[in-house]
Amino acid sequence: MLAISEQNARYRHGGPSEYRASVPKVIHVANVLTHRQPYLDIKCQLGEGPLYISERNELRFVDIWNEKLYVVDLEKGPSSLREYDTGKPFGVTADIEGSDTEIVAGAKDGYVRFDLTTGKQEYLAKLWDQDDNPDNTRIMRMNDGACDTSGRFWVGSCSDPKVIDFTDHGILFRLDPDGSLHRMWEKITIPNGIQWNAKDDTMYMADGPTERIWQWSIDPNTANIKDRRVFFHQNKYPGHLDGSAFDEEGYLWSALYGAGRVIRISPDGEVVGEILLPTRNITCPTFAGTVLYITTAAEEDPEKHAESARYGGNLFRIDVGVKGMKKNKFRWNKQRYV
């Protein structure tokens, strides 16, 4: 493999030196970039859901197992980190359009509105109230998701491994701005990396145990999806596909849980670059400009993988030289809660 040229670059708000890599628009040989220093030495049990808020230059992410929400001001640096107790597992969050203090989260058993100033929570929608199996409230949880360009919030559910083993009973849900809840796809094991391309006509989602990133044709007006097919088959590395983020050149950056890396996938489904990290369980990347922020999870076998255990659960960042696609907000337009 051909190593990307590296140079030290110190961020304006301090912290350790980082590597800056210029990512060519066309790469025919896989490129490898190794990165070791965490931005936040925070030791999440299951760090996930990183999201950049450009209006305030903040990064938000969650620790699912420890039921925590974190916000850090990227101008002020690590000392500005704020911590919130969520009281239930939050898998992913999104901003609410028009609000600076409220967000919406894909939580244990539904979509929750969370006030960052008071900590107050209210359900926008519960997943299982009308379900044939009411025990789903206990055995399932929401995992990963994102908002589309029309402000609909898509989140996939999965078995809660703290309660039962993973099954294929997961469902991809969609919460519309009017408060209506839709089941869009079923028989999912671990849904991750829900994304849309720049043309807004294709949706992507990984299902880790299948080792595939799937894509669907989508009508951006109706949000109907059809014609599922394989975009990428992960059969080279250990571990499973996890969260992802698109850059402005149409390449998908995907975390590999258990493989200690983030891979860059071309629009043709070819791996053209890698970021190697010092811990195995990489969960999700997100862009803040050209800087990629990467969440991780704790090491399950610290005796066997001592180095991975040392860095597991930390937040990493690295400048990859290409900007990411902007994230959308939830366009909640109904002041009624269940």
What is the per-residue pLDDT across 116-150, written as a single tens digit (0 to 9) for each? 999 999 999 999 876 667 788 899 999 999 999 99
What is the per-residue pLDDT across 171-225, written as a single tens digit (0 to 9) for each? 999 999 999 999 999 999 999 999 999 999 999 999 989 999 999 999 999 999 9
d(CA 59, CA 106): 17
Which residues sit opposite 48 in a β-bridge?
62
Locate 229 and state its tokens: 């097919």
Contact present, 337 and 113 (Cβ < 8 Å): yes
Give residue 24's pLDDT: 33
d(CA 218, CA 225): 4
Q: What is the CA radius of gyration of the chain?
A: 19
Q: What is the mean pLDDT of residues 294-302?
A: 98
Locate 197 and state its tokens: 């391309």
* Torsional class of 103: left (φ above 0), alpha (ψ -120 to 50), beta (otherwise): beta
* Dihedral pair phi/psi, residue 117, rounded to 5°: -90, -35
What is the per-residue pLDDT across 153-169, written as a single tens digit (0 to 9) for each? 999 999 999 999 999 99
Q: Please provide the average confidence, as pLDDT, over all residues in the chain.
A: 89
Within 10 angstroms of residue 45's Cβ, the number of other Cβ atoms is: 14
Which residues sit opposite 68 in a β-bridge?
63, 85
Task: Give pTM, 2 decimals.
Answer: 0.89
Can you state the percent helix, strand and coil of the chain, rounding each to 5?
Answer: 5, 50, 45
d(CA 226, CA 279): 37
Q: Judge whether residue 5 has pLDDT over 80.
A: no
d(CA 195, CA 206): 10
Give residue 3's pLDDT: 31
Which residue type is seen at 282? I
d(CA 112, CA 109): 9
Locate 80 and state its tokens: 């500005």
Domain boundaries along the sequence of the chain: 2-319
**Residue reference for tokens 């299982």:** 128
Residues annotated as binding site for a divalent metal cation?
48, 192, 242
Give residue 32's pLDDT: 79
Contact present, 332 and 124 (Cβ < 8 Å): yes
Give residue 81's pLDDT: 99
Catalytic residues: 242
Q: Judge whether residue 85 has pLDDT over 70.
A: yes
Give residue 131's pLDDT: 64
Give residue 106's pLDDT: 99
Contact present, 53 and 61 (Cβ < 8 Å): no
d(CA 312, CA 334): 40
Contact present, 74 and 57 (Cβ < 8 Å): yes
Identify the CATH class of 2-319: mainly beta
The candidate with the shortest Cα–Cα distance to 89, out of 60, 69, 59, is: 69
Among 16-25, 114-123, 213-222, 302-311, the least confident range = 16-25
Which residue type is seen at 81? L
d(CA 321, CA 52): 17
d(CA 94, CA 17): 30
Q: Helix, strand, or coil here: 39?
A: coil
**Residue reference for tokens 């991780």:** 296
Locate 70 and state its tokens: 């974190």
Residues annotated as binding site for substrate?
141, 143
Q: What distances in angstroms separate CA 319 from CA 50, 175, 197, one per listed residue?
A: 16, 33, 22
Q: 79 CB contacts (<8 Å, ≥6 apart)?
A: none
Confidence of residue 335 (pLDDT cuts 50, 70, 90): low
Which residue type is seen at 137? T
Q: Judge whether residue 11 has pLDDT over 50.
A: no
- DSSP character at residue 100: S
Pairing outcome for strands 31-34 and 271-276: parallel
